[in-house]
Amino acid sequence: MSLQTHQTPHIASRLPQVGTTIFTVMSALAQEHGAINLGQGFPDFSCDPRLIDAVDQAMRRGANQYPPMTGVPALRQAVADKIAALHGMRYDADAEITITAGATQAIFTALLAVVHPGDEVIVLTPSYDSYLPNIALCGGVARTVPLQADFRPDFTAIAAAITPRTRALLINSPHNPSGTVWSEADMRQLEALLAPTDIVLIADEVYEHMVFDGAQHQSAARFPGLAARTFVVSSFGKTFHVTGWKVGSVAAPAALTAEFRKVHQFNVFTVNTPMQHGLAHYLADPAPYRDLPGFYQAKRDRFRAGLAGSRFELLPCSGSYFQCVRYDAISDLPDDAFCRWLTAEIGVAAIPLSAFEPDGRQRGVVRFCFAKQDATLDAALKRLAAL
């Protein structure tokens, strides 16, 4: 018997413009050609064995059933304590911290909680690829505002995009894909811009512990006028090299959290129990996340040094684990074609920046991920430097 002998109902797609993501395409191409994959943003090294031990111990002592919908209390408290220590804002662990199935789910749930059909959401582009489909699935309307040529926010353009229908604004710092980090002045300007409005801010801060050169991450939680209107989204997966665990957190005022949890309880309900207990235990020691900027800065510097004499033009990288480069001295191909050529012929996979643009805008820039073992980076650099 075959399904082909029966009729499948026709459905109108909720996302008719969406196909296979460029990340999946480039990873498959890298595998096909045996290329070094510096495309997708995840480490190729293991997490701290102590974290695995903490999860294992949680499993063995029986923490394998549903936890509270909002998250394991000890983990929510650890998140609240960390934010207070780093940013000076005290969130109530019971009413204002929620554990999520990763940051992507957190962002989608925040949008579902506040965006009604026809509401507008401002997105600064280039942007992470889930933002626009999430808004569409909510019935919202995305108003895209391009970042400036140096990937910094254009506050004049943001202000011009605000209308009576604007319900939310999505920001991301440190920024994927560019590695740009918002400054204190940027955040204060945003705080002043939003002060007379009823706009909700969704702050994607998953690379919060990857800010380099002695700078400090300017979380929305640091600014009272922003914190009062913001869902602050974080990722344990990014911070502790366990992206496959898909565990994140959201900090927000109680009124926003209450609406967030109404949606969360029905689209996820709750999150992996032993991972939560393991993370709560592991967070008792701040060293792993306090040491992370130096760890990734060393990788950034290694990667930049390896390309310093090449024909790639290195763009600034102040945070995240991504390095963007211009390649116009090497090729005049569009960025997606250049990435395919680079993967198939040179043996290194990258991601075209146009994949982060709603209109496929060409900037002649591609993105590499340097969250890799030194041996992986050195092998890739040997190939890239020869161009």
Q: What is the CATH number of the domain that holds 118?
A: 3.40.640.10
As for how many domains the chain has, the answer is 2
Give the model's pLDDT for residue 337: 96
d(CA 210, CA 188): 21
The residue-averaged pLDDT of 40-56 equals 95
Indicate if 140 and 246 belong to the same structural domain: yes
Average pLDDT for the chain: 96
- The stretch 203-219 carries a mean pLDDT of 98
- In terms of residue numbers, what domain contains 265? 49-285
Amino acid at 285: D
- On whether both 250 and 101 belong to a single domain, the answer is yes
Q: Is the residue at 230 inside a domain?
A: yes
Q: Do 150 and 272 lie in a common domain?
A: yes
Question: Is residue 258 located within the same domain as residue 343?
Answer: no
pLDDT tens by residue, 85-119 = 999 999 999 999 999 999 999 999 999 999 999 99
Range of lowest pLDDT (22-36, 145-159, 342-356, 370-384)? 22-36
Q: Which helix (H) or strand (E) holds 30?
A: helix 22-33
Sign of CA dihedral 372, 373, 379, 384: positive
Asked whether residue 8 is domain-assigned, the answer is: no
The alpha carbon of residue 76 and the mean position of all alpha carbons in its chain are separated, in whole angstroms, by: 20
* Domain assignment of residue 24, yes or no: yes
- Of 251, 285, 319, the residue that ends a domain is 285
Please list, in sequence order, all residues whose beta carbon lies within 8 angstroms of the beta carbon of residue 293, skipping any fewer than 6 positions away. Answer: 209, 210, 211, 212
Establish if 7 belongs to a structural domain: no
Check whether residue 262 and residue 334 sit in a common domain: no
Give the relative orientation of helices 73-87 and 273-282 as an angle to the nearest 10 degrees.
40
Q: Indicate if 295 and 376 belong to the same structural domain.
A: yes
Q: Judge whether 321 lies within some domain.
A: yes
- Alpha-carbon torsion 126, 232, 209, 86, what sign? positive
Global pTM exceeds 0.85: yes
Q: Give the model's pLDDT for residue 1.
A: 58
| Residues 32, 114 within the same domain | no
138-179 residue pLDDT tens: 999 999 999 999 999 999 999 999 999 999 999 999 999 999
* Residue 237 CB-density burial (10 A; 0-12 exposed, 13-18 middle, 19+ buried): buried
Q: What is the pLDDT of residue 2?
A: 67
Among 254, 285, 316, identify where a domain stops. 285
